[in-house]
Amino acid sequence: MIQSDDSSVLASFEAVPPYTRVLSIDKEIGGAPKPSVDEIKKYAEAVNLLRTSLVTVSQSFTTGKTNVVEEMHKGNISVYVSVLRNEYISVAFDYFSDPTIELATFISGSGVDGVITEFPATATRYLSKFKPRQGHERTIDIQNKDKADHLYLMQMQRVHAQI
């Protein structure tokens, strides 16, 4: 995967087929209109979005879900969510302040294609705690995304977890 927030960088990798180009959107977005999705598709096969672009939060409680994942998927764009953290203040109360529940919710409830977390142990706990439903396979590839920041990219097929 090649990730950048600069579409010109991603455009230069268009002719390199083994790489999936990921557009990093570091600002919160509330929707994904078709013209925007079509523009993204020119430069990338996937997007990395802030979690606040997928769910709305007020006073530490989730208040709603956006349609961003569905709109991106309609445009055949994979969606990754970042950065999931373990700190108590960063996890909404709806997830019982449990980062593993938050991770499970984003993967099974929001339909994201992958997550980026600073805590690979939480991802490991998720994988051992939540099993896919019978007949649904799970493929996992955990890569060191950026050694300096210790961010890890967990790329998955959609996982249907039993909660």
Tens-place pLDDT, residues 23-37:
999 999 989 999 999
Residue from 54, 62, 65 nearest 28 by CA: 54
Question: Is there a domain that residue 145 lies in?
Answer: yes
Domain count, the chain: 1
Percent of the chain with pLDDT over 70: 77
- 56 domain residue, yes or no: yes
Q: pTM, whole model, 2 decimals?
A: 0.72
Q: Is residue 115 part of a domain?
A: yes
Mean pLDDT across the chain, nearest whole number? 77
Does 162 map to a domain? no
**Length in residues, the chain:** 163
Domain containing 95 equals: 2-156
CATH number at residue 69: 3.20.20.190
Residue that is written with structure tokens 């302040």 in the block: 97
Phi, psi of 100 (to 5 degrees): -70, -40
Residue pLDDT, tens place only, 111-148: 899 888 888 888 888 888 775 555 554 433 333 333 32
pLDDT at 40 over 90: yes
CA 103 vs. chain centroid, Å, equals: 10
Q: Are 34 and 102 in contact (CB under 8 A)?
A: no
Q: What is the pLDDT of residues 56-80, one digit of tens each?
A: 888 878 888 899 999 999 999 999 9
Residue type, 111: G
121 lies in some domain? yes
